[in-house]
Amino acid sequence: MSERLTGDFRKFMDKNFLGSWDVPPTGDLILTIDHAARDDVQNDRGREKKLTIHFKEDGFKPMICNTTNAKAISKAHGSTLVEDWAGKKISIYKATISAFGQTQECLRVRDYAPKEETAICEGCGKPIEAHGSWTVNRIVTMSREKYGASLCWDCAKKMKEQEG
């Protein structure tokens, strides 16, 4: 049986790296850096080794890290040493830039550390807490997108069960 999809088609293509289409329309994507690496990246000029950022949260592909984003991470966390970035949270947003003669979407990293979100579940009234690799921000973002409300893990699970 096939799965019915919604959202930007680029999310469902076989891409190796995070893209602007992976940022939710409701806000920034807040992720925790696991480590930096140098990975092979395919582009118009062939294959090149590029700085990439890998994340602790499950289900997120690595992000190609250009100079602009590397400087933002350095400023946000006070170090240019990539090994110091491990365990740090970054806030990723979607921006529109002019490059190579055209306007395009890209990923940008905010140059300040994200604040830990304190959110209250609209279902049960309790504080929303992280669950496994899911951050509070990710749970809130996903529950708003899917159910139109900020829900804790348990209330979101109940809503999913009610859907069938």
> Within the chain, how many helices (H) and strands (E) appear?
3, 5
d(CA 138, CA 46): 35
**DSSP at 153:** H
Angle at 65 (CA atoms; ends 62, 71), nearest 5 degrees: 140
13 and 88 belong to one structural domain: yes
Please identify, among 109, 125, 156, the residue that sits at the C-terminal boundary of a domain.
109
29 and 89 belong to one structural domain: yes
What local confidence, expressed as pLDDT, does residue 16 receive? 86
45 and 81 belong to one structural domain: yes
d(CA 115, CA 89): 9
Question: Does residue 14 form part of some domain?
Answer: yes
pLDDT tens digits for range 89-127: 999 999 999 887 889 889 999 999 987 667 888 999 988
154 and 101 belong to one structural domain: no
Place of tokens 């950022």: 53
What local confidence, expressed as pLDDT, does residue 11 receive? 66
126 and 154 belong to one structural domain: yes
User: pLDDT in tens for each of the 164 residues of the chain?
Assistant: 777 867 767 666 667 899 888 888 777 888 999 999 999 988 777 888 999 999 998 889 999 999 999 999 999 999 999 999 999 999 999 999 988 788 988 999 999 998 766 788 899 998 888 887 787 878 888 898 999 999 999 999 999 898 87
Structural domains of the chain, count: 2
What local confidence, expressed as pLDDT, does residue 24 receive? 82
126 and 145 belong to one structural domain: yes
Question: Does residue 28 form part of some domain?
Answer: yes
What local confidence, expressed as pLDDT, does residue 14 receive? 61
Q: Taking the model in full, what pTM does it have?
A: 0.67
Please identify, among 109, 125, 143, the residue that sits at the C-terminal boundary of a domain.
109
133 and 87 belong to one structural domain: no
124 and 91 belong to one structural domain: no
Identify the domain containing residue 132 by its residue range: 116-164
90 and 120 belong to one structural domain: no
Question: Does residue 79 form part of some domain?
Answer: yes
Q: Are 12 and 21 in contact (CB under 8 A)?
A: no
Q: Which of 153, 134, 133 is CA-nearest to residue 143? A: 153
